[in-house]
Amino acid sequence: MKIGLKNSHLLFAFFSLAPFLFAQEESLPVVEPPVGLNISGSTKTEYWFWLGKDSLTRKTEHFETNTSLIINYENFNLMGNLFLYEPSRPKNPLRLLGGSFAYRTPSIELTLGDFYSLFGRGLCLRSYYDENFRYDKRLFGFLAWGEFKGQEIRILSARPQNIIFRENTYSLENDTTDLLRGVEFSSSLIPYLELSGRYVRLNKEKDLTPQAFTEIFGPGLLLNYKSLEFYYEYAHKLQTREIVGGRKKGKGHYLTLSFSSALFGILLEYEDYDSIDLGGTGFRYNDPPTPIKKGISINRGTDERGFGINLHSSLSSLRLEGNYAWFYTHKKDKGIREILGKAEVDFFNQFTPVFTFEHLKTTGIEEGSVFRQEWKPGVEVSFNLGEKNFKLEGNVNFVREGNTSYQERQYSLSSDVLPILSLSFSSEEATKGVKRYDYQKRWLIAEGTLTLTDNLSLRLRLGQEKGGLVCSGGVCRYEPPFFGIKSVLLMRF
Amino acid sequence: MKIPKLIYLFFFALVFVSAQKIETKRAKNFTLPNIEKQRVTLDSCLKKGPVFISFWALWCKLCIDELDAFKAVYEEFETLGLQVLAISEDGPQATGKIKPFITNRKWRYNVLLDPTNKVKNLYAVKTMPTSFLIDKSGHIVYQHTGYKKGDENKIREKIKAMFEKTE
């Protein structure tokens, strides 16, 4: 729900005062709280100040706050959420008031209002909120879930809202008149085996063809026997062709196989997606998984095929981790190859060295860059000196981009100076100025975290951020360079 | 920017001073599946003893450091009935990786899956790691955000004090 400026102030005042009022009660002599009644919440507020101006949007300030208030009585939950985004320029604030009312028991859950939902591993439907990546795929409507003797059913009907942060600005990406309806069923009647099925239907008010809709559905299978786990999910999409009519088809396969033991753990995964994207340009209502650990996808379910191997091993004081992933279009004209390695030597009492290695090869992923290859060895050493801890990190990235080659070197030092204060300094430099970073060659950052209480912390960051492509869960965005101050206040009540 | 940020800051200053003690609040009940696909309910766990809840994810290095360091604390108090619910906030792309990871890491905690952040939102968790210590009567006796080496000793003291109080 979008709210006006006047209302946003009043609501913010209410949300801010609520913890104050409730906390007063707790400053009284110890009183047992009423059984069943519970009020709590949290606030995250950010204020950025550009030293200079944001080169893309010419902004000088950024203010955002996200406050949640939860009132719980026995099995009933009333949740309120207020999000305010107030940039200095351009004048495009985003003010959202959301909330939900839920009734929850171990076998029944009913939710009315805002919620997030996941069907299977996300081939048919996935809505979520990634706070660090600033991506909110909330649904507004009704969700019912029930369980009886190993049989589970989930039904929903909701209108989606995809809010993404791009080029330092929040925006609502999707058509909010879209309507999603879905059902998922799973059965665990047979020991070690779970069978499931799901169906999602998307209706768009603006479709030109009468009674047009898109549906995506498919079965799933989970076999879990001791150390072995096998999962397979299939999705089939049928979409109405606009104007000409008829049904356009899509299909997707996702499978994983894992083995777990104290000596080593391994996971193999395979993905093949052909036209199972549900949504529109820049946004999706489903989220087929990507094997790339850095969260990069190619075109998010439209045309992707790949596999991944993930390995963990513990040998006495040595801990090893490896990841290999390959993800390309079917014609292999665009794609990514990723190799990650990590070795942690936990042998010495006072310091722990960790050796890391990263290799990334991308073809046609970033705009203006047809081919990019990175080889990045690194080392980090943590010193544990009783009350005070230090950490030193360093890595060199050997980059080849088309016909250009250069190095990026990164060093950082962090320390817990006082029990309530942590400081870190980092420096990064490139041997060559490239367009993607505005031809800049050096970036310096100082950061301090003040933990005033277990429920209250303040983080301040001063310096230059490089910017570039950042990804999470298959969603990517270009982050412009930043020079200025960023502050984050976190509070729980 | 016309929005009066100073007013917001004033409200926050008030909250700073006031909203610091949240102990003695009741822990909200929830049900989640664990990695063995069994459904786990907080209230059922509390019938067996106190519970330490930690919100973590595979991408969160500090969360993993905290749970690694907590292994010794858990071994110390396990016989007294302490249970650990390690709630994974990983998305579906990481679901298959959790079991091999925790087995290899030798975590004996009850690892729950919360891919839609249902419980994370219910507990108003805005950063990870965040952990809660809940006594047998269902009250939150301690809450902690972030992790640095040695924090596990602080938690150990809180658990010790909780058991001494109930004796």
- Write out the DSSP string of A253-264: EEEEEEEE-SSE
Backbone angles phi, psi at A105, to 5 degrees: -130, 170
| pLDDT band at A19; cut points 50, 70, 90 | very low
Query: How high is the pLDDT of residue A247?
Result: 83
Which of A42, A231, A261 comes nearest B124 by C-beta?
A: A42
Does pLDDT of A28 surpass 80? Answer: no
| pLDDT band at A209; cut points 50, 70, 90 | low
- Which chain B residue shows the shortest CA-CA distance from A455? B20
Q: Is residue B133 part of a domain?
A: yes
Domain count, chain B: 1
Task: Respond yes or no on whether the N-terminal peptide bond of residue A29 is cis (omega within 30° of 0).
Answer: no
Distance from CA of A203 to the nearest CA of B (A): 23
Distance from CA of A211 to the nearest CA of B (A): 31
Distance from CA of A128 to the nearest CA of B (A): 6
Query: How high is the pLDDT of residue A29?
Result: 36
Q: Give percent above pLDDT 70 in chain A.
A: 90
At residue A2, what is the residue type?
Answer: K
Mutate to test the interface with A, among B2, B5, B15, B34 (most CBs of A within 10 A): B15
Asked if B93's CB is within 8 angstroms of A290's CB, the reply is yes
Task: Respond yes or no on whether the N-terminal peptide bond of residue A33 is cis (omega within 30° of 0).
Answer: no
Query: How high is the pLDDT of residue A26?
Result: 38
Asked if A68's CB is within 8 angstroms of B19's CB, the reply is no
| pLDDT band at A335; cut points 50, 70, 90 | very high
End-to-end CA separation in angstroms for chain B:
57
Mutate to test the interface with B, among A260, A285, A319, A489 (most CBs of B within 10 A): A260
Asked if A47's CB is within 8 angstroms of B5's CB, the reply is yes
- Report the distance separating Cα B116 and Cα A473, nearest Å: 13
Q: How many C-beta atoms surround the C-beta of residue A189 within 10 A? A: 10
Residue B145 pairs in a beta bridge with B130
Q: Is residue B11 part of a domain?
A: no
Domain ranges of chain A: 5-68+79-87+191-197+204-492
Which of B37, B92, B99 comes nearest A126 by C-beta?
A: B92
CATH assignment at residue B60: 3.40.30.10
Residue A142 pairs in a beta bridge with A112, A157
Which of B16, B91, B143 comes nearest A454 by C-beta?
A: B143
> Chain A window 183-222: which residues touch B at a Cβ cutoff of 8 Å?
188, 194, 222
Asked if A27's CB is within 8 angstroms of B21's CB, the reply is yes
Write down the ipTM of this complex.
0.87
Distance from CA of B1 to the nearest CA of A (A): 4
| A258 touches B: beta carbon within 8 Å | yes
Mean pLDDT of chain A: 87
Distance from CA of B58 to the nearest CA of A (A): 11
Domain A5-68+79-87+191-197+204-492 has CATH 2.40.160: yes
Does pLDDT of A320 surpass 80? Answer: yes
For residues A17, A491, B92, B86, the Cα torsion angle rounded to the nearest 10 degrees is: -120
Asked if B22's CB is within 8 angstroms of A384's CB, the reply is no
Asked if B126's CB is within 8 angstroms of A40's CB, the reply is no
Query: How high is the pLDDT of residue A141?
Result: 97
| pLDDT band at A2; cut points 50, 70, 90 | low
Asked if B117's CB is within 8 angstroms of A116's CB, the reply is yes
- Which chain A residue shows the shortest CA-CA distance from B104? A262
Q: Is residue B33 part of a domain?
A: yes
Query: How high is the pLDDT of residue A91?
Result: 74
| pLDDT band at A306; cut points 50, 70, 90 | very high
| pLDDT band at A90; cut points 50, 70, 90 | low
Query: How high is the pLDDT of residue A250?
Result: 96
CA A138 to chain centre: 13
At residue A123, what is the residue type?
Answer: L
* CB distance A274 to A330 below 8 Å: yes
Highest mean pLDDT: which of A16-20, A49-53, A341-345?
A341-345
* pLDDT averaged per 10 residues, chain B (length 167): 54 52 74 92 94 96 94 95 96 93 93 95 91 93 87 92 84
List pLDDT tens digits, range A192-202.
999 999 999 99
> Chain A window 19-78: which residues touch B at a Cβ cutoff of 8 Å?
19-20, 22-24, 26-27, 30, 32-33, 35-38, 40-45, 47, 61, 63, 65-66, 68, 70, 72, 75, 77
Which of B20, B103, B105 comes nearest A455 by C-beta?
A: B20
Across A112-140, average pLDDT: 95
List pLDDT tens digits, range A434-443.
877 778 889 9
Q: Find, among B153, B135, B68, the residue nearest to B108 by Cα.
A: B68
| B99 touches A: beta carbon within 8 Å | yes
Q: Is residue B145 part of a domain?
A: yes
Q: Find, among A357, A380, A361, the residue nearest to A370 by Cα.
A: A361
* CB distance A232 to A289 below 8 Å: no
| B165 touches A: beta carbon within 8 Å | no
* CB distance A410 to A426 below 8 Å: yes
Distance from CA of B79 to the nearest CA of A (A): 23
The sign of the dihedral angle between the CA atoms of A482, A486, A491, B3 is: negative
Does pLDDT of A348 surpass 90? Answer: no
Q: Find, among A5, A4, A95, the residue nearest to B3 by Cα.
A: A5
Structure tokens at B70: 């907590």
Query: How high is the pLDDT of residue A21?
Result: 44
Residues of chain A positioned with their CB less than 8 A from the CB of B39 = 106, 147
| B33 touches A: beta carbon within 8 Å | no
- Which chain A residue shows the shortest CA-CA distance from B42? A106
Query: How high is the pLDDT of residue B97?
Result: 94
Q: Is residue B8 part of a domain?
A: no
Residue A472 pairs in a beta bridge with A475
Q: How far is CA A490 from CA A41, A449, B123, B124, B126, in A?
A: 11, 11, 14, 11, 8
Does pLDDT of A138 surpass 90? Answer: yes
List pLDDT tens digits, range A395-415.
999 999 888 899 999 999 999
* CB distance A485 to A306 below 8 Å: no
* CB distance A493 to B19 below 8 Å: yes
> Chain B window 145-164: which residues touch A at a Cβ cutoff of 8 Å?
145-146, 148-150
- Which chain A residue shows the shortest CA-CA distance from B99? A260
Distance from CA of A153 to the nearest CA of B (A): 14
- Which chain B residue shows the shortest CA-CA distance from A107? B31
| B139 touches A: beta carbon within 8 Å | yes
- pTM assigned to the model: 0.88
Does pLDDT of A481 surpass 90? Answer: no
Q: Is residue B15 part of a domain?
A: no
Helices B151-166 and B61-77, interaxial angle, to 10°? 30
Sequence-ordered list of residues with C-beta below 8 angstroms from that of A467, at least 6 positions apart, any chain? A436, A437, A478, A479, A480, A481, A482
Provide the residue range defining the domain that includes B67: 23-166
- Report the distance separating Cα A3 and Cα A61, nearest Å: 21
